[in-house]
Structure 1
């Protein structure tokens, strides 16, 4: 296995630990160099300044203890009082002598495991006193008790910890921790404001893509984010203007086409009916109706139902309305759905989408089954990746001939019709409407033996 392949699991593990959001990654980018700099400074302090200071302070105390031990050894017991008095006054060391005592070796845990004080003091005493000794850091929180074994007893030396310890360490650690917390807070507050502007831009783009009128965005945040917001506002205005102009143009074309079609219908109605011409007149009338229907379908496809605004509606009620209309047209439609499923959508557009799916099934089958249910947000996803906890799923099944799997995607293309009486826009309009809601629609094999159209909308 190569080094590149061996490093891939490690790279994936590191990526899994990284924050997924922009705020977390931005704060991490800011804090990691600061923490690394502080770690280097702390290492230099521990390896340099603290180590030198600790050895010097321990050497000073060990030198004083060695001097006192030598004085006590040279003086007679009745002459040692002045040594004890001078040690307390001049060296700030309290002395006591225990006649005939022996040092009991006791294993004591380190009281300051992160600092080199105890080790440095032991090394200094070992070097300068050169007698058996013991140090006690546990008995007194303000002093270190040093016991030195002499031939006639044990000399107790109580040394203040302030002679071995410097408050610079506390100040340094407080500075490191305080500066890290302060910089972290400033970084989080600053980046939160920047990310909030990006989130608002993303929400506005998503809402606009779903056909909602969000209005112009207020540019805020960094200059690049303000520039993106201004560009989004200009794009939004251009798209609205383009859609409006296209809709007006197509509405005018539709009106212009309907006028001659209406005249043709009237002319056909006023023509004298003879047995020889009856069949031809009926065919012409059907052609005129087909042209009117195709004109309306083309206009609906071009408009894309873009003028309707989303609002709370009951999806089950829309399905029941479409099923009732299909039954009035002679279809056999079964509906399996909960009592209600309220969600935010464009009711007229969704009704048209469901109507197109049911009409397609009605033209090719005798039995239609429509189901409505909710499912977790897995599997199909909308083009914009709409964050929804649930999907509302609608299935339209029929027992018709179906569509081969290789041809199902092509059925969604505009003007692709598998029926001589169709325009080829029903499925294209349905997919356009579903995707405008942030969902998706697919064709599958139906349990009834025909075709299943399955659509999902974010709840």
Structure 2
């Protein structure tokens, strides 16, 4: 059995054709039944009822013409009075061309079912040669009939053959359709607007921005989702507050014995113990505790605000350059980004410190991407990280160096993720490691 190419699968074709938005798909659900209903109504009215009326009207006109011509042939002396009376009653106009012969025009050119029905009825009722002229006098259809002594021209009003209610029916059908579509679009816009607000609020909250509680509106299900989202925001805020307070207490409890140790070491005689080594160990323990608490605490209660990323990167690069690192910057026309300044400073500082620790040359580039994102790239010429270990190095306490704690990349990734962005490791064109950060503007 041969399988259809993947590009021609029906579901793939439908996904490309169908609208992606909820508003478009819901509107399509409303439009398709309306179109189907109109098609059925047109088929019933135009395909059957109107067809019957057209045949009857054409037969009536053909029969009247045949009757008048037959009466004139039976009573030649009264033909003028017969034609005048028929013109008054049937709204026909008769013109006799004595001695002329009918010019053959072949089959009449038809413009629709009404004209076809008239030609068929004339062939059936007249029993004479005739021709039809559709572009005759304005509002008239000209019928030329061959008689024994000449050609009789009969001008038939078009309104005798067309149903006037047809246009009223089409106008009613189109008007009702437009009215129903307008009402559907109005209601759908209100429902979709509520869902769109909920989606925007969820996206902003996921980026670390606090949009505040949203007002429930729309259908019952949408209101319920908005209420649940507000409750979720409140629970997450309480959890962050409680965790920050708990960690502050842990920090105090851990630093108190360290302070006592430092005081005890300071009171020891220098000739009894190596106090310098002890002081260094206590300092290292304080540094590690501070680093661990910083990682666990995350960004704390800092609120996002518009920040000049170029100025932030320049400040961090100048600090790293004072430490001996060779840093080049490419920060052309950077817009402001809504971020937590101190958190972003800590993330970029960790990345620059890692690069300065392992490399001699660092290049930092930043540029807008797609109009809604900001891409920051840090390249170095250090030893880099093997591709199979890059994901592992983004986890806490996975440092491959004896001098590191393995928290720098993990803290940076968590801060970027809290802003709704991504942090990826790759091979740098300089031969070392590339850290690529993408955050929303």
Bin the TM-score by the shorter chain. over 0.9
1:408 counterpart SS class: helix
Secondary structure in 1 matching 2:218: coil
Relative distance call for 1:269 and 1:326 in structure 2 (3 A) is: farther
The residue aligned with 2:99 is 100
Could you tell me which of 189, 193, 199 is aligned with 1:192?
Answer: 189
Is the counterpart of residue 56 in structure 1 residue 56 in structure 2? yes
Work out the CA distance in 2 between the residues paired with 1:413 and 1:369: 25
Asked if 1:300 corresponds to 2:294, the answer is: yes
- 1:404 CA displacement: 1.0
Among candidates 374, 377, 400, match of residue 418 of structure 1: 400
Distance 2:401 2:186 in 1: 61
Determine the C-alpha separation between the residues in 2 that align with 1:128 and 1:6: 61
1:267-324 deviation per Cα after TM superposition (whole angstroms, max 9, x unaligned): 22232212x733xx33322222222122222222222214222222211111111112
Residue of structure 2 equivalent to 1:37: 37
Alignment of 1:316-355 (within 5 A): 316-338=310-332, 340-355=334-349
Alignment partner, residue 254 of structure 1: 251
Q: Which residue of 1 aligns with 2:180?
A: 183
Gaps of 5+ in 1: 378-388
Is the counterpart of residue 399 in structure 1 residue 355 in structure 2? no
| Greater displacement, 251-260 / 139-148 | 139-148
Q: Distance in 2 between matches of 1:415 and 1:20?
A: 43
- Is 1:130 the equivalent of 2:127? yes
* Distance (whole Å) between structure 1 residues aligned to residue 106 and residue 213 of structure 2: 75
Give distance in 2, aligned partners of 1:249 and 1:6: 55
Is residue 99–residue 150 contact of structure 2 (8 Å, CA) maintained in 1?
A: yes
Shift of 1:227: 0.6
Instruction: Tell me how many residue pairs correspond in the alignment.
Output: 441
Instruction: Give the conservation status (yes or no) of the 8 Å contact 2:129–2:145.
Output: yes
Distance (Å, rounded) in 2 between the aligned partners of 1:282 and 1:395: 41
Alpha-carbon separation, structure 2, partners of 1:439 and 1:14: 32
CA displacement, residues 50-90 of structure 1 (integer Å, 9 cap, x when unaligned) = 110100111111100111111222333x5312111210222
CA contact 1:58–1:121 (8 Å) conserved in 2: yes
Q: Find 1:153's aligned residue among 130, 150, 153.
A: 150
1:4-403 correspondence to structure 2 within 5 Å: 8-76=8-76, 79-106=78-105, 113=111, 115-274=112-271, 277-278=273-274, 281-338=275-332, 340-375=334-369, 377=370, 389-403=371-385
Q: Is the 8 A contact 2:425 2:436 kept in 1?
A: yes
Cα distance in 2, alignment partners of residues 392 and 69 from structure 1:
89
**3-state SS, counterpart of residue 328 of structure 2:** strand
In 1, Cα distance between equivalents of 2:82 and 2:181: 56
Secondary structure at the residue paired with 1:130? coil
- After superposition, the C-alpha distances for 1:100-141 in whole angstroms (9 at most, x for unaligned) are 223334479957x4x410000000000000111122232234
- How many Å separate the matches in 1 of 2:199 and 2:268? 61
Aligned counterparts of 2:317 and 2:104: Cα–Cα separation in 1: 94
- Inter-partner Cα distance in structure 2 for 1:102 and 1:268: 136
Distance between the aligned counterparts of 2:6 and 2:283, measured in 1? 70
Name stretches of at least 5 consecutive residues in structure 2 with no aligned partner.
Answer: none
- Could you tell me which of 402, 408, 413 is aligned with 1:431? 413
| Distance verdict in 2 for CA 1:110–1:244, change over 3 Å | farther
CA distance in 1, matches of 2:10, 2:229: 39
Range with bigger deviation, 208-217 or 82-91: 82-91
With 257-266 and 34-43 compared, the bigger mean Cα shift is at: 257-266
Shift of 1:449: 2.3
Say which is worse superposed, 390-399 or 141-150, in terms of deviation. 390-399
The SS at the match of 1:277 is coil
Coordinate RMSD, CA, aligned: 2.1
- Relative to structure 1, the CA distance from residue 332 to residue 273 in structure 2 (aligned partners, 3 Å threshold; closer, same or farther) is farther
Matched residue SS, 1:155: strand
Deviation at 1:454, TM superposition (A): 1.4
